[in-house]
A and B are shown apart, each in its own frame.
Chain A
Amino acid sequence: MAVRPTPEQVLLLAPDRAAAAAASTAADPGAWSLAGCDDQAVWGQYVATSAEPYEVVVDLDAPAFRCTCPSRKVPCKHCLGLLLMLAQQHVAPAKRLPFAQQWLQRRDRHPTANAADTALDVQGAGDDEVAVEADASGVRTSTRTGRADPGREQRRLDRAERMRAGLLELDRWLADRVRHGLTDPELADPTTWERVAARLVDAQCGGLANRVKRVATRVGEHARWHEDVLEELAVLHALAQGALRTSTLPPDLADGVHATAGLTIAKDDVLAGVPSTAHWLVVGESRTREDTITVQRTWLASQAPGADGRPVTTWAMVLAFGAFGREVTTEHHVGTELHADVHWYPGGIALRALVGRVHEGPAAAVARDAHTVAEAVAAAGWAMAAEPWLERFPVLVCATPRPVGNGRWTLADHTGAMPIVPGFWRLAELVAMSGGRDLVVMGELAADGVLPLTVWAAGATVEL
């Protein structure tokens, strides 16, 4: 059981003198509702001036803090106030409130994060100690440092305001497109889209700007382009609406929306999160161009046997960017395996990641367990359900390339088929390697089909 702290010990946790002073004010039992404690934690709702009371939990073992107030200080005055009340024996043992239960359970699932904590060093802790904040404009950001300079705070607020304005403008523009109809000649004019994209860049929504530019290329692409464009406009609308109200979204979803909109997260912050240490096989690499930037995706997969005997694949995607004169280089080569720490970026679907410490490797390795087509499509479906704006999802299947006519091909097995993207230029190589039989293929599954990237045949790894 954690020892009940003394008031002096509590005040030692304060990040600065102001917080310590404010903590005493916050330690007013009248301002709290449903405060309670047990052996491990103390929690309560602080009724502030805002409409929603702040939800406060402190894990006494670590200690670690969580508060929904907008303050960037860790611990904030509410956490300290609650601890002071505990020290002064104003908090009675009670059943955990749902939000406290949820957060503490999540912490229990990451025991390494707890081990990393020390009494005075909350910055070094894992993802779950990240102070999650909602500011007045509804834009959430994650931060793990409690000692931010005021200039940074101001810049963050400015940026939030710019993003908000840009998102509102985007959403109005989307509604106007639907109001005037997709046959409006304005849509066929590339400058229309470029203008919108440029506005989004100004609003620091770079992710959305790139998306808008990609939609522009689909106008008039084929006879049924209206469907594709409406689909993309609807997804943009969902993203804009989501980004405008992230404070009401579940934290993971909010993080995903932010990342897609273009909010960048410092590498150090990602590397400070709880790593996933495993044997990671480098299974594929793909490159796309966005304007003058080359985006390189390196796919890592870690496999473990599942409960039903079928393999369970965990994915990680490492992004690298190159520009003219500074070409992107391959850091992790396809066909190798490394025993390494992988740190995921925050978000509902853990895909984008950074490779942290490499414990062993790289060594040559081949893919061992592949999935059926049905398993791969189902996994992609679950990911799309969580983040419908995902543009591609990795698949690793054992299947045969088979034609469906009209020059279109699929990867098929006994559970079904998934189309290969039209115009896949290495199709003949893929078919030649298969010889009409099953082979193991890694690819990116997108709306128009799967783009095969790597093939394993006869013990060799071949990049397409």
Chain B
Amino acid sequence: MNGLSDAPDAPDAPDALAVVMARSATDEWAALVGAAVLGTDRRPAPAPGPGWDAWNTATDPAEALLDRAAAVVVARRAGSCPQPAPAIEVPTAPTDARPPCPVACAARLGRLLAGEHDVLLPEWFARCEAAGVQLPWATLPALLLRGRRHPHLDAAVRRLARGRAAWLAEVVPELGVRPTPVPITDQSPPFAMPPAPPDSAALVTTIVTVFHERTATWAAARELALAAASIDPVWLPTLIAQLARIGFDPTIERTRREVLAAAEFRHAMLLEWSARPTYPSRPSDPIPGDPA
């Protein structure tokens, strides 16, 4: 950025003095910095180079130095040129013929990674894989970093990212991710969708009953959200409608909101993926309005 030369599309050819000044700008700047560091009281600035004397008019040496420095700064900033292309060649990532991830689905993954309803993360991955689309590449570094402590997630990410995960790990070593998958151990937490219940209708009834009986305390919230994540998607609208209708009670309100939000989130996520042909298409009931 600090190379000085004529601007590439300058209307006129640079005159001889401009060329001389361009060459001497670095020396001029070094001389001014040297004088400024020690102070003009101790070390007066040396006489200006050819062309640069036009700004050496002030009688006060300090002011003259500032005038001259300003001239060099303006010349350097205005005349900055692109640097030569770097010598280090980067291999291109393996080509990926899959279509890009739909924008809405990518945004949904962003919210999951930000901590919203992370019980639904495995299902997002399953849908993405079934749809046969690319991972949203902007999330790849965050997923790989998360995978360092979560080998099963890492495996899922690398399977979905194909060659780009290893490529990124090699090209950006400062990310701190290995090109090879994280080894899976016995203690590794699982990364899979919660197992589907034998009877989703019964499970929906159970969830709603727990709320009606006012036993759905905050301690049970995670388990209830997992249950909402496991039921057959066709029952989601029913669950949402039922949860929205439960009367207010301070002991369960927080849990109710959490489970309702998880169900709504999952429903919306599946609708977004349903633009792809893999989502079981059955007309679903309209989502009731936000009870809050």
Contact = CB atoms under 8 A, between A and B. Distances in A.
Interface of A: 171, 174-176, 178-184, 226-227, 230-231, 233-235, 237-238, 373-374, 377-378, 380-382, 384-385, 388, 400, 402-405, 407, 410, 412-419, 427-429, 431-433, 435-437, 447, 449, 455, 457-460, 462, 464
Nearest to A415: B82
B174 interface: yes
B82 A374 contact: yes
A259 B171 CA distance: 44
A179 B60 CA distance: 10
A416 B139 CA distance: 29
B126 interface: no
A460 B100 CA distance: 9
Contacts of B175: 428
A414 B85 CA distance: 7
A382 B78 contact: yes
A418 B140 CA distance: 25
Interface in B157-199: 164, 167-168, 171-172, 174-175
Given A178-B39, A238-B70, A227 B33 contact: yes
B122 interface: no
B66 interface: yes
Given A183-B38, A384-B77, A400-B90, A175 B82 contact: no
Interface of B: 1, 7-9, 29, 32-33, 35-42, 60-63, 65-67, 69-70, 72-74, 77-88, 90-93, 96, 100, 103, 106, 134, 136-142, 164, 167-168, 171-172, 174-175
Contacts of A176: 62
Given A235-B70, A388-B77, A435 B164 contact: yes
B143 to A, nearest CB: 10
B91 to A, nearest CB: 6
Contact of B73 (A235, A380, A407, A427): A235
A80 B40 CA distance: 54
- 9 closest A-B pairs by beta carbon, nearest first, are A416-B82, A181-B39, A385-B78, A458-B100, A435-B93, A234-B69, A436-B92, A428-B141, A237-B66
Contacts of A231: 69, 73
Contacts of A388: 70, 73-74, 77-78
A418 B83 contact: yes
Contacts of A238: 70, 73-74
Contacts of B29: 227
A324 B17 CA distance: 53
